[in-house]
C-alpha cells in the first residue's frame, strides 16, 4: 500500500500527476478489454439460451434483464465499498462475482433449471457493473477540461474485447461439445476465466488507488467520512439540476439501448439469421457503443455536455426507426444496431461527465453509484417489458415504445440549453471578467496538489 493510500491527506507532486494518470488509464484500459470480452461473449446468446432452457419466447427477455438487474443491485454495494476502500477492492470483487455468476449459468443450463439460470445471470451482471464503474475511476484524476475524454478513453477500450466477444461465441459453444453443456452456455464458461484474469490485473496493478489519490488532493473540508457517505451523494444529486439531468441522460440512453439490443438476436432468428450472423450484427452494435467514444468525449469537452446529450437523443431515434422498420433486411437491422450503439455512447459519455462535473469530489463515488443504480434499474424494467412486447406485438412495436422514452430527454436538454443561453446573455459582462480565473482554476488541476 502506498503512502497516498495510507494517508489520504498526503500531498502529491504536480509533476507526478501526468505519469500517474497515464498508468491508471493503462491499467483500466487493459481491464476493460478483458471485461468487455467476457461480458460480450456471454451476453450475445443469453436470450437464445433462456428460450432453450425455459421453452418459451415470453421468458427469453428475462435473461438479459436479470443481468441488467444484477448490475443495478450491485451498483450501490460497489459504490459503498469504493467510498470506504477505494476503486480497486470494488472492481476486483465485482469481477469475481461475475465469474461466479457465469459458472452458475453453465450449471443451470446443463440442469435445465430456469430460475437458477436467472440467478446466475444476475450475478454475471456484476462484471458489467465493474466495466461501467471503471469509467469513473478514469475521471478521478482527470483535469476538469479533459474529464469527458478521460471517461471516453476507458469506454473505448471495451471495443476490443466487446467486438471480439460475440464472434467467439460460436467456437466457445463448440468447445463444450461432449460435456453435456448446451452450446449457447459455452461462452459463459469462457467468460468466467476471463473475469478472473481481469480481477487479478486490477488487484495487482491498479496502485495507487485513483479514488484515494483524488481524495488526497481534495480540500480538507471534503475529506470527512460524512462528506462522502451514500446519503451525501444522494443529497448532492438532488440539489443539482445538472446532476439530475445527467441521471436522466444515462438512464434513458441505457434503457432504450438494452431494450432493443436484448431482443434483436431473437428477431434475427425469426428471419433466418445464423448464430454467426447474429454475432456480426451484435459486434457492429458494440463497435458503435465503444469505438467512437473518444469522439463523443472530445465533442463533450469542446461543444458541451448538453449538446452531446441532445445528439444522443437524435441518434437513438434514428436507430429505432431503422431497426423497427427493417423486417427481414438483416443489413438494415445491422445499421440500426450500429447507430443505436453510437447514441448510447453519446449519452453515457456526456451524462457521466455532466454528473461528475455537477457534484463535489467527496460525493462523487456515491453519486456515481446512484447513477449506475438508476440507469440499470430502469434498463432492467425495459428489458423485462421488451420480451413481453415482442411476444405480444412485434419487434417494431418494441422500437416504437423505446423511442417514446426519448421525448422527455430531448425536452429536458432543450430547456437546459435555453436556460444556458439566457444566463449567458444576462451575465455576459460578469462571465467575461471571470473567464480568466475559471480557466486558470481548471488548468491548475485538483486542489491540494503541491507544486513541484
In contact, 166 and 278? CB cutoff 8 Å: yes
Please report the sign of the dihedral spanned by the C-alpha atoms of residue 396, residue 164, residue 346, residue 296. Answer: negative
Q: Which residue is listed with cell 459486434? A: 283
- Over pLDDT 90: what percentage of the chain? 43
In contact, 369 and 82? CB cutoff 8 Å: yes
pLDDT of residue 227: 60
Q: What is the mean pLDDT of the segment spanning 95-118?
A: 94
**Which residues neighbour 128 within 8 Å (Cβ) at sequence distance 6 or greater?**
39, 67, 68, 70, 71, 98, 376
Judge whether residue 435 has pLDDT over 80.
Answer: no
Judge whether residue 324 has pLDDT over 60.
Answer: yes
Q: CA separation (Å) from 306 to 10, 240, 355, 378?
A: 36, 15, 11, 21
In contact, 346 and 257? CB cutoff 8 Å: no
- Report which of 87, 81, 80, 77 is spatially closest to residue 137, judged by C-alpha positions: 87
Say which range, 188-192, 273-277, 374-378, 421-425, has the weakest mean pLDDT.
421-425
Judge whether residue 446 has pLDDT over 50.
Answer: no
In contact, 269 and 282? CB cutoff 8 Å: no
In contact, 68 and 376? CB cutoff 8 Å: yes
Could you read off the pLDDT of 153-163 as tens digits, one per residue? 998 987 787 77
pLDDT of residue 425: 63
In contact, 230 and 80? CB cutoff 8 Å: yes
**Which residues neighbour 103 within 8 Å (Cβ) at sequence distance 6 or greater?**
120, 188, 189, 192
pLDDT classification of 427: cutoffs 50, 70, 90: low
pLDDT of residue 1: 41
The SS3 assignment for 328 reads: coil
Judge whether residue 424 has pLDDT over 70.
Answer: no
Please give the Cα distance from 440 to 430 (Å, whole number).
Answer: 16
Could you read off the pLDDT of 210-269 as tens digits, one per residue? 998 888 876 665 555 656 677 888 899 999 999 999 999 999 999 999 899 988 988 898
Q: What DSSP string runs through 425-449?
A: HHTHHHHHHHHHHHHHHHHH-STTP
Please report the sign of the dihedral spanned by the C-alpha atoms of residue 118, residue 124, residue 130, residue 131. Answer: negative
Greatest mean pLDDT range, 119-128, 278-287, 443-452: 119-128
Grid cell locating 86:
477505494
pLDDT of residue 407: 95
Judge whether residue 434 has pLDDT over 70.
Answer: no
**Which residues neighbour 200 within 8 Å (Cβ) at sequence distance 6 or greater?**
none
Please give the Cα distance from 354 to 374 (Å, whole number).
Answer: 15
Global confidence as pTM: 0.78
Over the chain, what is the mean pLDDT?
84
Could you read off the pLDDT of 8-40 as tens digits, one per residue? 434 566 677 888 888 999 999 999 999 988 888
Q: Which residue is listed with cell 436484448? A: 262
Grid cell locating 19:
505519469
Element (H, E) at 385: helix 364-392
pLDDT classification of 299: cutoffs 50, 70, 90: very high
Residue 189 Cα to chain centre, angstroms? 23
The SS3 assignment for 188 reads: helix
pLDDT of residue 5: 41
pLDDT classification of 71: cutoffs 50, 70, 90: confident
Residues paired with 427 in a beta bridge: none
Please give the Cα distance from 389 to 409 (Å, whole number).
Answer: 22
Could you read off the pLDDT of 139-154 as tens digits, one per residue? 898 888 889 999 999 9
pLDDT of residue 12: 60
Q: CA separation (Å) from 137 to 31, 141, 244?
A: 12, 8, 21
pLDDT of residue 438: 37
Please give the Cα distance from 82 to 139 (Å, whole number).
Answer: 14
- Report which of 125, 132, 118 is spatially closest to residue 73, judged by C-alpha positions: 125
Judge whether residue 204 has pLDDT over 80.
Answer: yes
Please give the Cα distance from 418 to 35 (Å, whole number).
Answer: 39
Q: What is the mean pLDDT of the segment spanning 110-121?
A: 93
In contact, 250 and 369? CB cutoff 8 Å: no
Amino acid at each position: 500500500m502506498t503512502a497516498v493510500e495510507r494517508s489520504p491527506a498526503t500531498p502529491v507532486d504536480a509533476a507526478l500527476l501526468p505519469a500517474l494518470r497515464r498508468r491508471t488509464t493503462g491499467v483500466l484500459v487493459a481491464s476493460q478489454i478483458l471485461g468487455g470480452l467476457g461480458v460480450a461473449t456471454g451476453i450475445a446468446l443469453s436470450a437464445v439460451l433462456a428460450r432453450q432452457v425455459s421453452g418459451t419466447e415470453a421468458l427469453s427477455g428475462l435473461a438479459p434483464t436479470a443481468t441488467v438487474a444484477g448490475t443495478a443491485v450491485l451498483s450501490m454495494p460497489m459504490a459503498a465499498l469504493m467510498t470506504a476502500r477505494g476503486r480497486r477492492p470494488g472492481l476486483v470483487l465485482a469481477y469475481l462475482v461475475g465469474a461466479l455468476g457465469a459458472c452458475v449459468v453453465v450449471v443451470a443450463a446443463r440442469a435445465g433449471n430456469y430460475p437458477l439460470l436467472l440467478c446466475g445471470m444476475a450475478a454475471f451482471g456484476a462484471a458489467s457493473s465493474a466495466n461501467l464503474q471503471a469509467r469513473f475511476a478514469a475521471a478521478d484524476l482527470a483535469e476538469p477540461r479533459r474529464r469527458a475524454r478521460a471517461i471516453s478513453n476507458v469506454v473505448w477500450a471495451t471495443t476490443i474485447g466487446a467486438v471480439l466477444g460475440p464472434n467467439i461465441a460460436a467456437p466457445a459453444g463448440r468447445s463444450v461439445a461432449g460435456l453435456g453443456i448446451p452450446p449457447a452456455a459455452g461462452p459463459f464458461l469462457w467468460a468466467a476465466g476471463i473475469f478472473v484474469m481481469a480481477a487479478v490485473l486490477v488487484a495487482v496493478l491498479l496502485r495507487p488507488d485513483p479514488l484515494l489519490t483524488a481524495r488526497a488532493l481534495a480540500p480538507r473540508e471534503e475529506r470527512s467520512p460524512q462528506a462522502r457517505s451514500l446519503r451525501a451523494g444522494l443529497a448532492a444529486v438532488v440539489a443539482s439540476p445538472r446532476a439530475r439531468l445527467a441521471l436522466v441522460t444515462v438512464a434513458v440512453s441505457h434503457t432504450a439501448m438494452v431494450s432493443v439490443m436484448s431482443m434483436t438476436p431473437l428477431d434475427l432468428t425469426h428471419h433466418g439469421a445464423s448464430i454467426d450472423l447474429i454475432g456480426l450484427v451484435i459486434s457492429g452494435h458494440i463497435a458503435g457503443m465503444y469505438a467512437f467514444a473518444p469522439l463523443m468525449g472530445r465533442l463533450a469537452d469542446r461543444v458541451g455536455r448538453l449538446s452531446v446529450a441532445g445528439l444522443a437523443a437524435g441518434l437513438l431515434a434514428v436507430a429505432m426507426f431503422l431497426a423497427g422498420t427493417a423486417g427481414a433486411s438483416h443489413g438494415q437491422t445491422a445499421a440500426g444496431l450500429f447507430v443505436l450503439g453510437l447514441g448510447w455512447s453519446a449519452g453515457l459519455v456526456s451524462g457521466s461527465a455532466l454528473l461528475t462535473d455537477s457534484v463535489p469530489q467527496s460525493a462523487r463515488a456515491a453519486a456515481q453509484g446512484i447513477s449506475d443504480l438508476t440507469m440499470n434499474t430502469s434498463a432492467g424494467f425495459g428489458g423485462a417489458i421488451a420480451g413481453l412486447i415482442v411476444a405480444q406485438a412485434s419487434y417494431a412495436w418494441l422500437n416504437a415504445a423505446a423511442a417514446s422514452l426519448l421525448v422527455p430527454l430531448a425536452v429536458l436538454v432543450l430547456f437546459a440549453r435555453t436556460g444556458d443561453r439566457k444566463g449567458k446573455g444576462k451575465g455576459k459582462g460578469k462571465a467575461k471578467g471571470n473567464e480568466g480565473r475559471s480557466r486558470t482554476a481548471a488548468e491548475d488541476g485538483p486542489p491540494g496538489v503541491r507544486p513541484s
